[in-house]
Structure 1
Amino acid sequence: MTEHRITVAGVAVDTRHWIGGERIASAGTFTDVSPIDGSALGDIARGGPGEAAAAVAAAKAAFPDWAASSRAERARILHAIADGVEKRIEELAIVETTDNGALLRSHRRGVMPRVAHNFRFFADWLLTLDHEDFETRGHTNHVSWDPAGPCVLITPWNAPLMLATWKVAPALAAGNTVVLKPAEWSPLTASLLADIAAEAGLPAGVLNVVQGYGSEIGDALTSHPDVRRISFTGSVPTARRIAESAAANLTPLSLELGGKSPLLVFADADLDLAVDLAVEQYDNAGQVCLAATRFLVEESVAEEFTRRFVGRATALNQGDPRDEATDIGPNIHSRQLEKIDGFVQRALAAGARAVIGGHRGDGQYYAPTLLTDVRQDSEIVQEEVFGPVLTLQTFADEDEAIRLANDTRFGLAATVATGSRERAERITSQLVAGTVWVNCFFVRDLQAPFGGSRLSGVGREGGTWSFDFYCDLKNTVTAPNGWKNHG
């Protein structure tokens, strides 16, 4: 290791901020730790109000030229960034696995290719973004999407680079400049993204990356009067603080927050398919906001569903995420592990039964858990755990299934397993959720709206919805007459 640079699995990563096209150190640092074995990966620049102000100033200075650039030029550079990501997929995958503990095979085959796709999709969508002109009493209405200004993007630790670029790509495509603040538990691939963007020709100051704790740098970013958009993915309590911080400047917010999503299994469902969907909920050690953590199973098939699920779940291989044979890796941090175990132990003390799991493993691993005999109003059913912990309840009919499914403060997603198209249509029309999957899970198209209802979020992004958020929409109305003829 040299000053300001660490080596992670053979990959060099700069630990400083990226502000205005330069690497900037801070007086203080924080230690980044791998959840795989608890080893220290390195000391990361710990930003505060000074770094926040510098990053926003750089974004503000770079905004006029970037906003004035053509759609074709912005699209070209975004495609060049995607090219850079694709050239470094293996490096990005191993660094992120080491940093956040998610499966290496998933990063290689799905997550990092999706990072590149995020840039390509929004680059291409930008070139087709249009609204047909329309007339009002002979006057022509023309809708345009104008760049809004500097954007602050605050991203989570469970899929750091993929979720960061889900925000960065449309913000840049829209003609905005960006200050990206990655989660302090998984900051490394954001630093590599800064390198890739610079190599692709993105002008200095258009993308800035600052690291640190939310309480020290996050508040300074979200309260800054020159910030014109804030997008955040994370917890409800943090979102409330961000909203309060942004309120003084009326800065528009996009918030993608927690979930307590249901998986509804009806008696007419293909049970093997339903079990496949259920086992998928342990993906990323349960650290997925969209996970259907509440199984709601029709009484007549609950025993058979449970039997098959237990057989599949207990066969999962938990271990080192760098091993191709591993199905479940570690949880991100010792504090998160304490939180997960606290939820489970309180549920067990209140009368829940652990069909499988219900305890810690070694290190930062938590045993895949399924709890039954849980009350609808209990903490374990109502609050997001964000770990490999699922609950199972039964229902007698459709009305009870819908009531149980909707009876939380959240509304991010829902999954339905049924063999009846008519039932699927009845059920999905009544579910409170931003996304509903029927006989499938985690099928996502970037042109679809994404977001949550209730405490699961504010707003929608994806396709044109992303540009609606990251732009100032303008309607220009032109009279049919009044032009002077200059010949």
Structure 2
Amino acid sequence: MAPRALASTATVAGVPVDTRHWIGAERVASPATFTDRSPIDGTALASLARGGAEEAKAAVAAARAAFPGWAATPPAERARLLHAVADGVEARTEELARVETADNGALLRAHRRGVMPRAAHNLRFFADWLLRLGHDDFTTRGHTNHVSWDPSGPALLITPWNAPLMLATWKIGPALAAGCTVVLKPAEWAPLTASLFADIAHGAGLPPGVLNVVQGYGAEAGAALVSDPGVRRISFTGSVPTARHIAAGAAERLVPVSFELGGKSPLLVFADADLDLAVDLAVEQYDNAGQVCLAATRLLVEERIADAFLERFLDRAGALRQGDPREADTDVGPSIHPRHLERVDGFVRRALASGARVALGGGPHTELNDATGGTYYRPTLLTEVAQHSEIVQEEVFGPVLTLQTFRTEDEAVTLANGTRFGLAATLATGDPARADRVSARLTAGTVWVNCFYVRDLAAPFGGSRESGIGREGGAWSFDFYCDVKNTVTAPKGWQQHG
């Protein structure tokens, strides 16, 4: 599919970013565009090509055409190319960090120190895992069983806006390592680093069509990609309602899906916990303005220490500085988009109308928003919330926490498991036996004990209940992106050759 227009570039944070799709190693424009704005101050960053059915069809066709050659590429060469792409990410860490901060409003220092290095690490990890992927042969009545992993075909990867590049490489790394080709659909609210990544991958020598990027809205580009018969795997991170639409489309063709969805995770604080550690863990949930699927937004605190916990929490959280995420002393940045800000505030207003009380925050940071044109919501804590209430049951995805108390271990577990989600849980206790008991009873894909957000790519990651389908990480990722084959060979029957 040939480009329809000359080069189209926007300069974001001093970095040139191509605003067109990346399809078959070519830049492709679209008749329609959409505007990407910064949550920091509301300024327009770029007008990007807005994909639809035609661009989706072309991207999947390019991925299909490239698949046989990429699948046949020796694992060592695939690994080498992934390391080369990681080298390119590391070489452009500063540019990627500045662009993504402008695009999604997350802290610049976090992008520099952690997020962008992690994006490169994602690629390196799966490149290295590929070279040791295997299963020991075993015998059945003298017959040899040999397990192998065959690439499944073009993979559609649909990624969110809260950590765009890091979460994209979390999917791209294993998909490409496995021998699949990729069509990436980035979130329309933060698409810019996906375009830069396409340039980096091309510069590293990734063959044409192995990686494709289609920009646009989910209802247009996303829906067209999901329904394309050439797609053989779909990996999606996002909301439960969108996942239902994707699952319905995939079901018609029996395409396997991997979903990492919403969360309403608890933080259980027992009276025997290190109280300062527990407060630190709770305040950490405001990271990225609360726009973290894993965030432990439900604080469940043993009744006899609740007052002491709340006092220390308000002291620590009240000292957080909210403002421009590009400034070194900022702790909490903006919400991603004005519509999202309204959504978050709607949850809080309805909770207050239902009897909840504000212990901290409770609304948009009006003064800051008026001064900057940004979308800042104050870090908020609500108390006197009922277990059945919307604010406890539904994912807000903003800097809004709730506080409930419990008296017994059984009550704590009942409250923790009392939603339709099961992505993660965090536990603060000084008793190892209690940690083992409670962790075993919690419904969650990941449980952290006296820590938070420690993630090893070798570990399984995913959610229970409506928090997801499947597990990714280590061999689990290759199991998803491949068709796992067992070849059984008889001990006799060979013809003599010679």
1:476 and 2:493 are equivalent in the alignment: no
Aligned with 1:437 (options 448, 459, 465) = 448
Aligned with 1:300 (options 285, 296, 304) = 304
Match of 1:418 in 2: 429
Match of 1:74 in 2: 78
Match of 1:15 in 2: 19
The Cα of 1:247 is off from its aligned counterpart by 1.1
Match of 1:376 in 2: 387
Aligned partner of 2:207: which letter? P
Aligned with 1:113 (options 102, 107, 117) = 117
Aligned with 2:30 (options 14, 26, 29) = 26
Query: Root-mean-square deviation (CA), in Å?
Result: 0.6
Residue by residue over 1:427-467, the C-alpha shift from the partner in whole angstroms, topping out at 9 and shown as x without a partner, is: 00000000000000000000000000000000000000000
Match of 1:59 in 2: 63
Q: Secondary structure at the match of 1:410?
A: coil
Q: Secondary structure at the match of 2:56?
A: helix
The Cα of 1:3 is off from its aligned counterpart by 5.4
The Cα of 1:105 is off from its aligned counterpart by 0.2
Match of 1:356 in 2: 360
Match of 2:407 in 1: 396
Match of 1:128 in 2: 132
1:333 and 2:337 are equivalent in the alignment: yes
Residue by residue over 1:222-281, the C-alpha shift from the partner in whole angstroms, topping out at 9 and shown as x without a partner, is: 111111000000000000000011111110000000000000000000000000000000
User: Which aligned pairs between 1:307-346 and structure 2 lie closer than 5 A?
Assistant: 307-346=311-350
TM-score by length of 2: 0.97
Aligned partner of 2:465: which letter? R
Structure 1: distance between partners of 2:362 and 2:355: 13
Match of 1:406 in 2: 417
Q: Secondary structure at the match of 2:11?
A: strand
Structure 2: distance between partners of 1:42 and 1:173: 32
User: Which aligned pairs between 1:163-312 and structure 2 lie closer than 5 A?
Assistant: 163-312=167-316
Structure 1: distance between partners of 2:181 and 2:282: 40
Structure 2: distance between partners of 1:241 and 1:474: 30
1:461 and 2:465 are equivalent in the alignment: no
Structure 2: distance between partners of 1:69 and 1:364: 47
The Cα of 1:42 is off from its aligned counterpart by 1.2
Structure 2: distance between partners of 1:478 and 1:206: 34
Contact 2:165 2:193 in 1 (8 A): yes
Structure 2: distance between partners of 1:266 and 1:189: 42
Contact 2:260 2:467 in 1 (8 A): yes
Structure 1: distance between partners of 2:76 and 2:246: 34
Structure 2: which 5+ residue stretches go unaligned?
Answer: 1-5
Q: Secondary structure at the match of 2:311?
A: helix
Residue by residue over 1:302-359, the C-alpha shift from the partner in whole angstroms, topping out at 9 and shown as x without a partner, is: 0000000000000000000000100000000000000000000000010000000001
Structure 2: distance between partners of 1:149 and 1:460: 19
The Cα of 1:114 is off from its aligned counterpart by 0.2
Aligned partner of 1:379: which letter? E
Q: Secondary structure at the match of 1:338?
A: helix
Structure 2: distance between partners of 1:276 and 1:216: 42
The Cα of 1:4 is off from its aligned counterpart by 1.1
Q: Secondary structure at the match of 1:429?
A: helix
Structure 1: distance between partners of 2:336 and 2:223: 23
- Structure 1 runs, 4 residues or longer, greater than 3 Å off: none
Q: Secondary structure at the match of 1:455?
A: helix
Aligned partner of 1:335: which letter? R
The Cα of 1:411 is off from its aligned counterpart by 0.1
Structure 1: distance between partners of 2:438 and 2:139: 40
Structure 1: distance between partners of 2:14 and 2:363: 34
Aligned partner of 2:23: which letter? I
Match of 1:45 in 2: 49
Aligned partner of 2:252: which letter? A
Residue by residue over 1:381-414, the C-alpha shift from the partner in whole angstroms, topping out at 9 and shown as x without a partner, is: 0000000000000000000000000000000000
1:365 and 2:376 are equivalent in the alignment: yes
1:103 and 2:107 are equivalent in the alignment: yes
Structure 1: distance between partners of 2:120 and 2:203: 15
The Cα of 1:156 is off from its aligned counterpart by 0.1
Structure 2: distance between partners of 1:285 and 1:74: 37
Structure 1: distance between partners of 2:35 and 2:228: 27
Structure 1: which 5+ residue stretches go unaligned?
Answer: none
Structure 2: distance between partners of 1:360 and 1:217: 32
Aligned length: 486
Structure 2: distance between partners of 1:410 and 1:427: 17
Percent of paired sites with the same residue: 76
Aligned partner of 1:12: which letter? P
TM-score by length of 1: 0.99
Structure 1: distance between partners of 2:7 and 2:123: 32
Structure 1: distance between partners of 2:363 and 2:263: 23
Contact 2:7 2:18 in 1 (8 A): no
Contact 2:259 2:468 in 1 (8 A): yes
The Cα of 1:291 is off from its aligned counterpart by 0.1
Q: Secondary structure at the match of 1:360?
A: coil
